Amino acid sequence: MENQTSRTRMQTVCLSLFGAMICFVSMWFFDRATLLAVREMPEATKHVFMQLSYWTEPSKALTAMAMAVVLTALSSSVFGFPRPTLLKFLGLSLVSCVLVLCFVLLAKTSIGRARPLPSSAFDPFVFAPFSGSEAFESFPSAQAAIAAAICYCFMFRYPSYRPLAFALMVSVGLSRVVIERHWISDVVAGWLIGWLGAAVICAMVQNRYAKPKLHR
């Protein structure tokens, strides 16, 4: 168990460093180019991503998960339809998303990166820390973080559906770039934060339920 915990910590550190490097490279080489390319996309394609982004906003996602937890718990206790795996997935996802969102909101305020704006010629290096303005809350992407957290929890409870979960995570993140609300590096950072946050929560839960088995 100790070896597994040490290995998990090492993987987390390595992933964090790799993700930070990817974000930095994206800022320098891909952020502006990606936004300029997005502006050439067909409006019909943008509309699809706009709807996806709208329905996956943090307030809607967290509300839907909270309601799903309540309804699943009621169906198990009142109507006798046990759904332990589904309930665990929903619970893990809700806790992970709330913790990840708190961290993301703190990072947004303290970093103060400007959202993509045509008026600034899509300059990805405009910052105003602690400005209190929504226009300077681009880094990291909250929706990308929540999508990554849900994706990890889904893969944790339903390993056979990994491709579907990963595809949804990527789609939600890219939708924020297509509608010009985030830079691609914001999305990458959001994915990283959400993934690592959910991984920590799932590892804590797994270790907690594994400990009693060691005393048998």
- Range name among 14-28, 48-62, 89-103 with the lowest pLDDT average: 14-28
Question: Which of 5-19, 70-84, 177-191 ranks highest by mean pLDDT?
Answer: 177-191
What pLDDT, on the 0 to 100 scale, is given for residue 39? Answer: 87
Residue 207, domain extent: 2-214
- What sections of the chain are H helices per DSSP? 2-29, 31-38, 43-55, 58-77, 84-111, 142-157, 162-178, 184-214
**Is pLDDT larger for residue 9 or for residue 72?**
72
Residues 6 or more apart whose CB falls under 8 angstroms from that of 1 comprise 207, 210, 211, 214
The domain total for the chain is: 1
Confidence of residue 209 (pLDDT cuts 50, 70, 90): low
**Is pLDDT larger for residue 182 or for residue 21?**
182
Q: Which residue in 17, 15, 19, 14 sits closest to 185, CA to CA?
A: 19
Inter-axis angle of helices 58-77 and 142-157, nearest 10: 30
Confidence of residue 88 (pLDDT cuts 50, 70, 90): confident
Give the integer Cα–Cα distance in Å for 155 and 146: 14
- Range name among 77-86, 109-118, 188-197 with the lowest pLDDT average: 77-86
DSSP 115: P
Q: What angle do CA 158, 92, 179 make, to 5 degrees?
A: 85
Residues 6 or more apart whose CB falls under 8 angstroms from that of 72 comprise 83, 86, 87, 90
What pLDDT, on the 0 to 100 scale, is given for residue 214? Answer: 44
Task: Tell me the mean pLDDT in the region 63-69.
Answer: 92
Task: Tell me the mean pLDDT in the region 1-17.
Answer: 66
105-152 pLDDT, tens digit per residue, is 999 999 999 999 877 788 999 999 999 899 999 999 999 999 999 999
Give the integer Cα–Cα distance in Å for 18 and 51: 31
What pLDDT, on the 0 to 100 scale, is given for residue 80? Answer: 57
Residues 6 or more apart whose CB falls under 8 angstroms from that of 158 comprise 85, 89, 165
DSSP 34: H
What pLDDT, on the 0 to 100 scale, is given for residue 216? Answer: 42
Is 87's pLDDT higher than 50?
A: yes
161-171 pLDDT, tens digit per residue, is 899 999 999 99
CB atoms within 10 A of CB 44: 7
Is 56's pLDDT higher than 80?
A: yes
Confidence of residue 7 (pLDDT cuts 50, 70, 90): low
What pLDDT, on the 0 to 100 scale, is given for residue 127? Answer: 93
